[in-house]
Amino acid sequence: MSLRLGDTAPDFEQESTEGRIRFHEWLGDSWGVLFSHPADFTPVCTTELGLTAKLKEAFAQRNVKAIALSVDPVDSHHEWIKDIEETQGCAVNFPIIADADRKVSELYDMIHPNADSSLTVRSLFVIDPNKKIRLIITYPASTGRNFNEVLRVIDSLQMTDEHKVATPGNWERGDDVVIVPSLQDEEEIRQRFPKGYKKVKSYLRMTPDPTANWSGN
């Protein structure tokens, strides 16, 4: 099964380090970040799980829940957590799914035979409160994930869901944004963007970030 942006994130029920999880029920009205790891006790993933734990408050400010996955069993996960907490200096404060039967890995197309026939690749999914997949990123085993980029994309998704804008390349919270080309009514533009806008081209109109006073980290 190949998942695409806009697809409904497959629901599942699986054991985790925080008990049995029914995914859609667990997610509730929150956004979710589901990310997979090839196996427990892997060095790059150990650092990633530590980073995720340290971002708990930043995720919470965005109404985001994080959940990890590895194909090893729960007992192994709990032993790995001890190493993560020792080496990364933080408590693991989110569940790690035990996907020993590969059920979730197969639902989310995390097994790439040309990379490895049994272990999951390092995929990350951002899922919105409607259970729709909004971002898919798959990393090679040698490259650690950039969680600042994950937060940046979530900021963009949440803002562009609320306002008729898009975010330009390398956009960061507080930077100018693009008014979507479909919005052409000048009165509506004035109402939506009281700070005004700059017309660079007829199709490229820049306006200040409408959420510039947001205080998230």
pLDDT of residue 110: 83
Domains in the chain, please, with CATH? Answer: 13-145 (3.40.30.10), 163-207 (no CATH)
Can 45 be counted among the known catalytic residues? yes
**Catalytic entry in 27, 45, 121, 126:** 45
The tens digit of pLDDT for each residue in 64-83 reads 999 999 999 999 999 999 99
Burial 32-70 (b: 16+ CB within 10 A, else e): bbbbbbbebebebbbebbbbbbebbebbeebebbbbbbb
Global pTM value: 0.91
**Is the sign of the CA dihedral 80, 83, 88, 92 positive or negative?**
positive
Q: What band does 58 get if pLDDT is binned at 50, 70 and 90?
A: very high
Does the pLDDT of residue 214 top 60, yes or no? no
Separation between Cα atoms, residue 53 and residue 74, nearest integer Å: 18
Question: Residue 146 contacts by C-beta under 8 Å, 6 or more apart in sequence?
Answer: none
Nearest alpha-carbon partner for 203 in 160, 166, 156: 166
Does the pLDDT of residue 216 top 70, yes or no? no
Burial 161-186 (b: 16+ CB within 10 A, else e): eebbbebeeebebeebbbbeeeeeee
